[in-house]
Amino acid sequence: MHLEETAGSRKGKLRQFILSHIREKGPIPFVQFMEWCLYHPQYGYYRSGGVKIGKEGDYFTGPCVHPLFGGMVAKQLSQMAEILSGGPFDIIEIGSGRGFLCQDILEWAKKKTPHFYKKLRYTLLETNPHFLQEQRRKLRPYEEEGKLYWMNPETDDQTMEPITGCFLSNELIDAFPVHQVMMDQGQLKEIYVTAHQDQFEEIFGEPSNPKLLSYFEWLSIKLEEGQRAEVNLNALDWLEKVAKRLRKGFVFTIDYGYLAEDLYHPYHRRGTLLCYYRHQISDNPYERLGEQDITAHVNFSALMNKGEEIGLHVTGLVSQYRFLLALGVLQELEALSNDLSEFEGLKLRLSFLHLIEPEKGMGEIFKVLIQHKGIDPPTLDGLRDLEAIPWPMPSSILSVSSGKEKEGGH
Q: What is the DSSP letter of 126?
A: -
Question: Range with the lowest mean pLDDT among 233-237, 289-293, 307-311, 377-381?
Answer: 289-293
The residue-averaged pLDDT of 41-48 equals 88
The residue-averaged pLDDT of 61-77 equals 80
pLDDT tops 50 at residue 401:
no
Report which of 317, 294, 309 is spatially closest to residue 230, judged by C-alpha positions: 294
- pTM here? 0.87
Q: What is the DSSP letter of 403?
A: S
Provide CB contacts within 8 A for 46, sequence distance 6+: 38, 39, 52, 127, 128, 175
Predicted pLDDT at 157: 67
Backbone φ and ψ of 270, nearest 5°: -95, 10
Q: In the chain, what percentage of residues exceed pLDDT 70? A: 81
3-state DSSP percent of the chain in helix, strand and coil, to 5: 40, 25, 35
Question: Range with the lowest mean pLDDT among 303-312, 332-341, 393-402?
Answer: 393-402
pLDDT tops 50 at residue 52:
no
Report which of 256, 380, 374, 247 is spatially closest to residue 316, judged by C-alpha positions: 380
Q: What is the pLDDT of residues 376-399, one digit of tens each?
A: 999 999 999 877 665 544 444 444
Q: Following DSSP, what letter does each residue of 226-237 receive, concatenated? A: T-EEEE-HHHHH
Q: In the chain, what percentage of residues exceed pLDDT 90? A: 67
pLDDT tops 50 at residue 53:
no
> What are the angstrom distances between the C-alpha of 35 and each of 6, 97, 240?
20, 18, 20
For the chain, the structural domain boundaries read 47-188+232-272+297-399
Confidence of residue 197 (pLDDT cuts 50, 70, 90): confident
Pick the CATH number of 47-188+232-272+297-399 from 3.60.15.10, 3.40.50.12710, 3.90.1570.10, 3.50.30.40: 3.40.50.12710
The residue-averaged pLDDT of 356-370 equals 73
Task: Return d(Cα 65, Cα 73) in angstroms, integer.
Answer: 14
The residue-averaged pLDDT of 230-241 equals 98
Question: Range with the lowest mean pLDDT among 4-8, 19-23, 146-150, 159-163?
Answer: 4-8
Q: Following DSSP, what letter does each residue of 357-393 receive, concatenated? A: -TTTSSTTTEEEEEEEESSPPP--GGGS-GGG--SPP
Predicted pLDDT at 54: 45
Question: Range with the lowest mean pLDDT among 50-64, 117-131, 256-270?
Answer: 50-64
> What are the angstrom distances between the C-alpha of 235 and each of 59, 197, 346?
21, 34, 39
Provide CB contacts within 8 A for 6, sequence distance 6+: 287, 288
The residue-averaged pLDDT of 193-210 equals 95
Task: Return d(Cα 292, Cα 196) in angstroms, integer.
Answer: 23
The residue-averaged pLDDT of 315-324 equals 94
Question: Range with the lowest mean pLDDT among 149-163, 224-238, 256-270?
Answer: 149-163
